[in-house]
Amino acid sequence: MPRPSPDAERLAERHRLALFEVPRRGLAGELLGRGTGSSLEFQDRRNYAPGDDVRHLDWRAMARSDQALVRVYREELLPRLELVLDLSRSMASDPDKAARALDLAYVFARSAELASSEVRITLCSERPERTDLERLRARDTAFEARAPLGIALAEAASLFTPGGLRVVISDFLAPFDARELVRPLAARSGGLVLLQVLSGFDRAPAVGTALRLVDAESDESLDAWLDEATVDGYRRRLKHLIDGLEVETRRANGRFFSLDASEPLALQIDRDLIPAGVLAAS
């Protein structure tokens, strides 16, 4: 059962959560977010997509262009980080994956704290619970939840509060429809970031490997031989999963990252998170 690594603690002190660095507006403590919402601050127009609020249809622009367009508004973003950490057993299928998920949780929470933001951490399992940064750092975190990811996130939603930046850390290796998973996570948030953490084996299982697959919920097992056809089929399904999450997160004006736990954390921060404007060097 891991704790945040010394490397994560050092990196957290050197970075800040950049998504809160936007012009201040309105009442004290309010920010204009980088996502979209329903404030009166007009941002742009874009093509209508199924599921968009029809109240935001721009009828005048449609009359001129014959295209279904919606008006996009910039939301008011409260300086609050709402961090959701998936504690499912699949996260512990590889020690590096569990450790990386915990390190990312610590870096985001500590960097938000350094940006003078409120931090709320939800541990996602059958019985979701709130914790704080100090307890996350000081105690072992057990990745033992058996509930399917969709059900666990639905249970955790009762602890969510509106208006803050919502960051979800998981491997997302579960059967679900990407749209049905992402839209509730984005609802009433001031922004959404999904961090998918995969082990090297999750991303690229080796052909010619014999292994025993154990269901994370029921403990039922299946002996399998990973021949080339099996691995190719798995890689196609994984790509479909990642592509779906990326598209739906972008549609929700959020950010999606798929990270390999075998890579150095500092590399992922410098290569992926800083250029995307999520973290910034202090």
Whole-number pLDDT of residue 66: 73
**pLDDT category, 257, cuts 50, 70, 90?**
very high
Residues in the chain: 282
Mean pLDDT (whole number) for 147-172: 93
Question: Cα–Cα distance between 24 and 94 in angstroms, integer?
Answer: 42
pLDDT in tens, 35-78: 444 444 555 667 777 656 667 677 777 777 777 877 765 544 45
> Which range marks the domain in which residue 126 is found?
6-22+79-281
User: Are 176 and 136 found together in one domain?
Assistant: yes
Domain-located, residue 142: yes
**Which pair of tokens denotes residue 282?**
């202090």
Coil vs helix vs strand at 116: coil
Same domain, 170 and 48: no
1 belongs to a structural domain: no
- Range with the lowest mean pLDDT among 11-20, 24-33, 58-67, 246-255? 24-33
Please give the Cα distance from 115 to 41 (Å, whole number): 24
Round the average pLDDT of the chain to a whole number and report it.
83
- Count CA atoms within 13 Å of residue 27 on its CB side: 4
Predicted confidence band of residue 32 (pLDDT cuts 50, 70, 90): very low
Token pair, residue 128, equals 């979701």
Using one digit for the tens of pLDDT, what is the confidence trace for 161-207? 888 999 999 999 988 899 999 999 999 898 999 999 999 999 988 77
CB atoms within 10 A of CB 48: 17
119 plus 47 within the same structural domain: no
Predicted local distance difference test score (pLDDT) of residue 222: 62
Indicate whether 163 and 272 sit together in one domain. yes
Q: What is the CA radius of gyration of the chain?
A: 20
State the pLDDT at residue 212. 58
Number of domains in the chain: 2
Which helix (H) or strand (E) is 8 found in, with range? helix 6-13
* 8 A C-beta contact, residue 152 and residue 86: yes
**pTM above 0.75?**
yes
Assess whether 145 and 100 both reside in one domain.
yes
